[in-house]
Structures are given as structure tokens and as C-alpha cells.
Amino acid sequence: MSGMHGGANGATPPDPSAEPVVVFEDVSIGFEQKPVLENISFRVHPGEMRVLLGPAGVGKSVLLKLVNGLLRPDSGRIFVFGKEISAMREEDLFELRGSIGTVFQEGALFDSLTVRDNVGYRLMEEHLPDEEITARATEALRFVELEHTLDKFPSELSGGMRRRVAIARAIVTNPRLILYDSPTGGLDPITSTTIIELVMKQRDVSHTSSLVVTHRLQDAFVLAMHRFDRARNGMVPLPEHQTDPNTSFLMLHQGHLVFDGSTKELVHSSDPFIREYIS
């Protein structure tokens, strides 16, 4: 389904026969009797990055919150790592969420905790030794190139730095799935590129499955048409006519999933809404 030219960055397309990381089956949810998402079905395979597009207010963040069980669907079934989370108790969900990293729209850092404690929060909850927490938090912060901010408070950081700390917090436990909720929302173009590079780095270096919510088409295409080069420690464009085989798209419109496919299929879609959206 995704990627028309695999192997551009040594990556192989996701194996459709492998157990999907996320499965949505006819999921619907509404608030105050107004439907927000209706009959949504899609899958995320291991190592796959699914970029969720759609206009503001269409329910992209709601969909992301359904994936980690922060919201429960009105109907339909949601499976994460093979477990039906829509039927799980909240207490059981807390354990499962340990394998899911989430980057919230505005970072959602704990403002009363230092960067070290924010990044190491989950490790502190597991009562790991202080030295190990510091070491792992530093390592995660090094990934986002913010290891020097360990003792600062979120209020002392810029918007882009806060977002990078949120990414460090999401990856510190080496999750099997990462959910990015508009990671570049409200940031300037240069900072946005830095964040997208980190998202790409996580995809190409750690091969973690991910769902990326964005309404910035530019970010989506950068993810699809670039790869992370470890040697240069930065992103490089894929050869012409090649796209990342692990990156594919979902698009929401008026509560419905109107697109589920590869970059090529998205670009060549004849759907009037999609054409207008990507033009």
C-alpha cells in the first residue's frame, strides 16, 4: 500500500503479514451528540510511519487520543499491539501506554518539573536508580541535541526546545509506537525543519512505528521524500521519483477517512477535496 520505490534509504516496505501495531475497525466517536469521527478503519504496521492529514478541527488529535486510550470510541474496535484497547480497563491501559510515546501539540511538559525530571518521568515512576534516570534522560536529550538543558525548567526554554524535550520524553523508554500530535504546530519554519528532522531520525534510526498528525502538507512531504543520513547527522533528499517506503498517508475530511495510501497515490488522487488540499 505504501511506497512505490522501496529501499531508497536501505529501508524495506512494512510487511503486511506482520501483526499490525495499530488497527482501527469502524471506529466512531462524537461529543455532545455531534459525530466527530465516523467509521474510521486503518492499520499501522511495524516500522511504518502514517502521516495523518486534514484541515484544522477535523478530529486528528481525537484520533490520536483514541490510539492511546485517552478517549474511548462510541462504537468500533481499536487494537494496539494486538490488544483490544477499546475494551480494556483504565488501570490496564496505564501499563500498555508504557510502550507508546506521545508528543502533544504544545509539548505538555510538566511545568513544575525540570527537563531532567520531565524526560525521566516514566523512569521515576518505575523507581529506577537516580543515576540511571539521569543517564537515560541525558541520552534521550542528546538525541534531540538538548543535553545541556537538564536542570532547566520548561518555562526557561523556547517553544521549539520544549517540543524537542517532549520528543525526548516520548522516546526515553524506547517505545514501540510514537504518536506525534502536530509536532511543528505554531513553530517557525527553521524550528519546524529541526523537529521534522528529529521525527525522521526516529523513523530511520530506531525504526519505530509512528502516527504523525499534521495540517502542514510541507512537513508531510518532507517526511516522505527525505531520509535521515547518520553520517551527516541530518536529512538528505531521496533520489528523484523516490519516496520513503515506510511513510504513507491518511486523510480526514468531515469526520471520514477519505484517503489511505502511499505518497504516489496521494499525489495522483482524483478526489476533488484531496486535489484542492494538496494544491
Partner 1 sequence: MALETIDAAAKRGVLALQDYVVLSARALGDLFRRPFYREDIFMQADIIGVGSLPIVILTGFFLGGVLALQSASTLQQFGAAAFTGQLVSFSMIKEIGPVVTALMVSGRNASGMASELGSMIVTEQIDAMRALGTDPLKKLVMPRIVATVVMLFFLVIISDAVGICGGGFVSVLMLGQDASQYLHLSYQSLEFPDILQGLVKPVFFGFIIATIGCYYGMKTRGGTQGVGRSTTQAVVWSSILIIVCDFMVSRFMIGIFGR
Binding residues for partner 1, rule: CB under 8 A, are 65, 68, 70, 90-91, 94-95, 97-98, 100, 102, 104-106, 108-111, 121-122, 125, 169
Which DSSP symbol is given to 183? T
Which C-beta is closer to partner 1: that of 15 or that of 156?
A: 156
Please, are residues 252 and 63 in contact by the beta-carbon 8 Å criterion? yes
Which C-beta is closer to partner 1: that of 60 or that of 227?
A: 60
User: Whole-number minimum distance, CB 88 to partner 1, in Å?
Assistant: 13
Which C-beta is closer to partner 1: that of 109 or that of 225?
A: 109
User: Whole-number minimum distance, CB 123 to partner 1, in Å?
Assistant: 10
Here the contacts of 228-233 (C-beta below 8 Å, separation 24 or greater) are: 228/9, 228/197, 228/200, 228/201, 228/203, 228/204, 230/205
Which C-beta is closer to partner 1: that of 70 or that of 258?
A: 70
CA 60 vs CA 53, 153, 171, 255: distances in Å: 8, 29, 22, 9
User: Whole-number minimum distance, CB 6 to partner 1, in Å?
Assistant: 32
User: Whole-number minimum distance, CB 68 to partner 1, in Å?
Assistant: 6
CB-facing half-sphere around the CA of 97: CA atoms within 13 A: 19
Please, are residues 172 and 7 in contact by the beta-carbon 8 Å criterion? no
Which C-beta is closer to partner 1: that of 84 or that of 110?
A: 110
C-alpha cell at 157: 526554554
User: Whole-number minimum distance, CB 90 to partner 1, in Å?
Assistant: 7
